[in-house]
Amino acid sequence: MALLLDTYGELLTDKQRDVMDQYYNYDLSLQEIAENAGISKQGVHDLIRRAEQTLVKADKKLGFQNRLSRLQNGLETVRYILEDLSRELHASESQASKLDVCREEVEKLINTCLGG
Protein backbone atom coordinates (compact mmCIF):
# COMPACT_ATOMS: atom_id res chain seq x y z
CA MET A 1 0.00 0.00 0.00
CA ALA A 2 2.93 2.33 0.69
CA LEU A 3 4.05 1.92 -2.94
CA LEU A 4 0.57 2.76 -4.16
CA LEU A 5 0.58 5.81 -1.90
CA ASP A 6 3.90 6.93 -3.37
CA THR A 7 2.61 6.42 -6.90
CA TYR A 8 -0.95 7.72 -6.67
CA GLY A 9 -0.96 9.75 -3.46
CA GLU A 10 -1.72 12.99 -5.30
CA LEU A 11 -5.14 11.56 -6.18
CA LEU A 12 -6.11 11.64 -2.50
CA THR A 13 -7.31 14.59 -0.48
CA ASP A 14 -4.68 16.25 1.70
CA LYS A 15 -6.24 14.73 4.81
CA GLN A 16 -6.37 11.22 3.30
CA ARG A 17 -2.77 11.49 2.12
CA ASP A 18 -1.61 12.71 5.54
CA VAL A 19 -3.44 9.94 7.40
CA MET A 20 -2.17 7.28 4.99
CA ASP A 21 1.38 8.61 5.35
CA GLN A 22 1.19 8.42 9.13
CA TYR A 23 -0.31 4.92 9.02
CA TYR A 24 1.85 3.28 6.34
CA ASN A 25 5.10 5.23 6.39
CA TYR A 26 5.39 6.15 10.08
CA ASP A 27 3.57 3.10 11.44
CA LEU A 28 1.41 5.13 13.84
CA SER A 29 -1.60 3.53 15.47
CA LEU A 30 -5.15 4.59 14.63
CA GLN A 31 -5.36 6.24 18.04
CA GLU A 32 -2.15 8.23 17.51
CA ILE A 33 -3.32 9.39 14.09
CA ALA A 34 -6.74 10.31 15.50
CA GLU A 35 -5.08 12.49 18.12
CA ASN A 36 -2.83 14.13 15.51
CA ALA A 37 -5.71 14.77 13.10
CA GLY A 38 -8.28 15.76 15.70
CA ILE A 39 -10.80 13.12 14.63
CA SER A 40 -12.11 9.88 16.07
CA LYS A 41 -10.34 6.55 15.75
CA GLN A 42 -13.28 5.34 13.64
CA GLY A 43 -12.88 8.42 11.42
CA VAL A 44 -9.25 7.52 10.83
CA HIS A 45 -10.22 3.95 10.00
CA ASP A 46 -12.82 5.13 7.50
CA LEU A 47 -10.39 7.59 5.89
CA ILE A 48 -7.78 4.86 5.48
CA ARG A 49 -10.25 2.40 3.93
CA ARG A 50 -11.61 4.98 1.46
CA ALA A 51 -8.08 6.07 0.53
CA GLU A 52 -7.01 2.45 0.03
CA GLN A 53 -9.96 1.87 -2.28
CA THR A 54 -9.05 4.98 -4.27
CA LEU A 55 -5.43 3.88 -4.64
CA VAL A 56 -6.29 0.32 -5.66
CA LYS A 57 -8.88 1.56 -8.16
CA ALA A 58 -6.37 3.99 -9.68
CA ASP A 59 -3.77 1.25 -10.03
CA LYS A 60 -6.25 -1.11 -11.68
CA LYS A 61 -7.04 1.56 -14.25
CA LEU A 62 -3.54 2.92 -14.84
CA GLY A 63 -1.36 -0.10 -14.07
CA PHE A 64 1.84 1.72 -13.10
CA GLN A 65 2.72 -0.80 -10.40
CA ASN A 66 2.45 -3.67 -12.88
CA ARG A 67 4.68 -1.82 -15.34
CA LEU A 68 7.18 -1.08 -12.61
CA SER A 69 7.26 -4.74 -11.65
CA ARG A 70 7.81 -5.76 -15.28
CA LEU A 71 10.66 -3.26 -15.57
CA GLN A 72 12.29 -4.52 -12.39
CA ASN A 73 12.05 -8.14 -13.54
CA GLY A 74 13.51 -7.28 -16.93
CA LEU A 75 16.37 -5.35 -15.42
CA GLU A 76 17.14 -8.26 -13.10
CA THR A 77 17.29 -10.58 -16.13
CA VAL A 78 19.68 -8.24 -17.92
CA ARG A 79 21.83 -7.98 -14.81
CA TYR A 80 22.14 -11.75 -14.46
CA ILE A 81 22.98 -12.15 -18.15
CA LEU A 82 25.69 -9.51 -17.91
CA GLU A 83 27.12 -11.21 -14.83
CA ASP A 84 27.26 -14.51 -16.74
CA LEU A 85 28.95 -12.81 -19.69
CA SER A 86 31.65 -11.39 -17.50
CA ARG A 87 32.37 -14.88 -16.13
CA GLU A 88 32.40 -16.55 -19.55
CA LEU A 89 34.82 -14.39 -21.49
CA HIS A 90 36.32 -17.40 -23.25
CA ALA A 91 33.11 -18.67 -24.97
CA SER A 92 32.50 -16.21 -27.78
CA GLU A 93 29.54 -18.05 -29.35
CA SER A 94 27.81 -18.28 -25.99
CA GLN A 95 28.48 -14.59 -25.43
CA ALA A 96 26.87 -13.62 -28.72
CA SER A 97 23.76 -15.60 -27.86
CA LYS A 98 23.51 -14.03 -24.42
CA LEU A 99 24.03 -10.58 -25.90
CA ASP A 100 21.06 -11.23 -28.21
CA VAL A 101 18.91 -12.22 -25.22
CA CYS A 102 20.08 -9.11 -23.40
CA ARG A 103 19.21 -6.92 -26.40
CA GLU A 104 15.73 -8.47 -26.58
CA GLU A 105 15.18 -7.78 -22.87
CA VAL A 106 16.21 -4.17 -23.34
CA GLU A 107 13.74 -3.84 -26.23
CA LYS A 108 10.98 -5.26 -24.00
CA LEU A 109 11.85 -2.73 -21.30
CA ILE A 110 11.70 0.12 -23.80
CA ASN A 111 8.28 -1.07 -24.98
CA THR A 112 7.11 -1.29 -21.38
CA CYS A 113 8.25 2.27 -20.73
CA LEU A 114 6.32 3.39 -23.79
CA GLY A 115 3.16 1.72 -22.51
CA GLY A 116 3.33 -1.47 -24.61
Domain locations along the chain = 2-62, 66-113
Most confident of 51-55, 71-75, 109-113: 51-55
Predicted confidence band of residue 108 (pLDDT cuts 50, 70, 90): confident
The pLDDT of 49-67, averaged and rounded, is: 94
Report the alpha-carbon distance of residue 65 to residue 7 in Å, rounded: 8
Give me the mean pLDDT over the 17-22 stretch: 97
Phi and psi based region of residue 115 (left: phi greater than 0; alpha: psi -120 to 50; beta: remaining)? left
CA-to-CA distance for 2 and 74, rounded, in angstroms? Answer: 23
Mean pLDDT of the chain: 87
Is 0.75 surpassed by the pTM of this model?
no
Q: Is residue 47 a contact partner of residue 78, using CB atoms and an 8 Å limit?
A: no
The CATH class of 2-62 is mainly alpha
Q: Which of 19, 86, 70, 25 is nearest to 47 (CA)?
A: 19
